[in-house]
Amino acid sequence: MDTLDPLITGCWDWGNLHLFPEDKQDDIKNDFVKNCDSFKKGKGYSFPHSAIIGYGEK
């Protein structure tokens, strides 16, 4: 994965994080990126653990 943008966008939509105050959104985004540092591999990210993919509609 070259960028975290798809994950961030998905989390924002799924969790309705756009409803939070802007400063809280910034804090969440910064923490998310920081917590993904250990998964950085070269110019991208690699998440070796399995993930559950789901689909939902609002």
Residue 28's pLDDT is 93
pLDDT tens string for the chain (58 positions)?
888 998 889 888 888 999 999 999 999 999 999 999 998 999 998 888 766 555 555 5
Residue 53's pLDDT is 56
Could you tell me how far CA 52 lies from the centroid of its own chain? 14
Q: Of 6, 21, 18, nearest to 53 (Cα)?
A: 6
What does the block give as tokens for 27?
Answer: 């804090």
Residue 58's pLDDT is 58
With both helix axes pointing from N to C terminus, report the angle between 22-35 and 5-15 in degrees, rounded to the nearest 10: 130
Q: What is the pTM of this model?
A: 0.71
